[in-house]
Amino acid sequence: MIETVKTLICVENALWRDSVNLVGAARCFAGKNTNEVYALTINLDDTEAEAAITSAFDVVIRAKDDRIHPYDTPGIACCVERLQAEYGFDCVLFPASTFGRIVAPQAAARLQCALCADVVKIEREEDSGGTSGVNFIRPVFDAKMFAAVRGRGDEKPVMASIRAGLFTYEGATAGKKACVREWTPPSPPPESAGLTLLSVRKKAETCDIREKDLLIAVGAGAATCFEEVRELAVSLGGAVAASRKLVDAGVADRSAQVGQSGKTVSPRVYIALGIRGSAQHVAGLQNVGCLVAVNTDKDAPLCALADMVVVSDAAAFVHALHERRTDN
């Protein structure tokens, strides 16, 4: 039976593009049912973001309230609770960013509902009797396995945080505009009072490795040439990425980390220099067009997954690439 499935997506102001892409996740959740996707924005003050959100969602619930600042997670969870009571959503989704990982459990606790965190895939299964259930797929055991998590079916809402880069929203239907509802949030809960925003310091602009078609990733086997690789990647229109070992060693910034506890990337070309290919690193590689592994050990696990393996010292490979580039 076709029914209307209502999904609320809690938008993170700083990473609004990831939140818009969750419309793709809401579609997977709804399957063949009619889909109504709602956005909750709180104090969003960004014209580009607002335009993208109104063309992607069906309804935008726009809250403006100076008492709720972007880090007031109890206040935001309280808003989700109040909206659930008003609209009765079937599903509530959060980006699995630091923001979503903090707000989602608080909202789930307020609503006494289950939460599936860090979801990478959503599958709707129809059985022969015409009823259907939704499986949320998430990594378990340090991403060595994937588990399908399914609610009992009688719970509302189903709540999940979704990893970035795995769902996409492919653009608005021509002329579509969301119905925008201005909304007054409830008074922030007492827990919010413990938070005072003293100042905002803008982080230096770093590129988002998830948006690049070319990534040259550096692992422990290429640590000494990290800076050289960064320059090379930028000069080729790409970016440098890194394994966690390099981030933990302080060589690379955490924003460049690929993997289970880093970012999920889908570049057209991924050149991995001196990266072994642990399950946790590989968990961050989705739909890579061409994977090139450069390693002195041809039996490293990443080599088995690569489209092309270069058995070489990483520094020598980088040097040769540099020379080729300068020659041209």
Q: For binding to ligand FAD (CB under 6 A), which residues are involved? A: 142, 219-222, 243-245, 257-262, 274-276, 278, 280-281, 284, 294-297, 300, 313-314
Strand spans (E) along the chain: 4-10, 34-42, 59-63, 91-95, 115-119, 121-126, 132-140, 145-149, 158-162, 179-183, 214-218, 239-242, 269-273, 290-295, 308-311
Nearer Cβ to ligand FAD, position 161 or 278? Answer: 278
Burial classification of residue 110, based on how many CB atoms lie within 10 Å of its CB (0-12 exposed, 13-18 middle, 19 or more buried): middle
Task: Give just the sign of the alpha carbon dihedral 176, 179, 182, 183.
Answer: negative
Nearer Cβ to ligand FAD, position 73 or 257? Answer: 257
- Is there a contact between 25 and 167 (Cβ–Cβ < 8 Å)? yes
Strand spans (E) along 57-140: 59-63, 91-95, 115-119, 121-126, 132-140
Nearer Cβ to ligand FAD, position 46 or 253? Answer: 253
Residue 245 C-beta: closest distance to ligand FAD, Å: 4
Cα distance between residue 226 and residue 251, in whole Å:
8
Residue 287 C-beta: closest distance to ligand FAD, Å: 17
Residue 326 C-beta: closest distance to ligand FAD, Å: 22
Residue 263 C-beta: closest distance to ligand FAD, Å: 8
Residue 291 C-beta: closest distance to ligand FAD, Å: 14
Tell me the CA end-to-end span of the chain in Å, nearest whole number. 62
Cα distance between residue 295 and residue 175, in whole Å:
51
Residue 116 C-beta: closest distance to ligand FAD, Å: 18
